[in-house]
Amino acid sequence: MQCKKFQSGVSLLEVMIAMLVLGIGLLGVAALQASSVRNTQNSYERTIAIVMVDSVIESIRANPNAGAGAYAMSDCVPASGGLIGEQLTHWVTRLQQELGDSVKCSIVFNNDRYVVEVNWKDERQSEMTETLIRTAVVL
């Protein structure tokens, strides 16, 4: 069986088009995987921040002397010394280890209410985004 002149090379062209479509599809899968990794890391960081905020809130609730604003701090620097100051310094150190050096935190005391804020920049995103976790506890 002989091929006609106008049909020669058709199967090669079909293979090349199939390879092009497959290549575009694989590029899409790779981009989706990269986006998934970024979102997973962002979710991990949010979870760490929430767990860390919950831990300091539980420390505030467990301390009977917390009502005097002893846990207040700004710019990740504890306002008080002693055991509470040491505890907050350890907490800030763990935050910086988990979320990076861009972490900012504050604990504000006002009228028997503590507001804990933690925010950080996500360097892995295509644009620098800042994430904020804010929780309040009433004594």
Question: What residue numbers bound the domain in which 101 lies?
Answer: 5-138
Burial classification of residue 138, based on how many CB atoms lie within 10 Å of its CB (0-12 exposed, 13-18 middle, 19 or more buried): exposed
Q: How far is CA 132 from the centre of its chain?
A: 10
Residue-by-residue pLDDT tens, the chain, 139 positions? 565 666 666 688 888 999 999 999 999 999 999 989 888 988 888 899 899 999 999 988 888 877 778 888 888 888 777 888 889 999 999 998 988 888 889 898 888 888 898 988 877 665 656 777 777 777 6
Q: How many domains does the chain have?
A: 1
- pTM confidence score: 0.73
DSSP annotation of 124 reads T
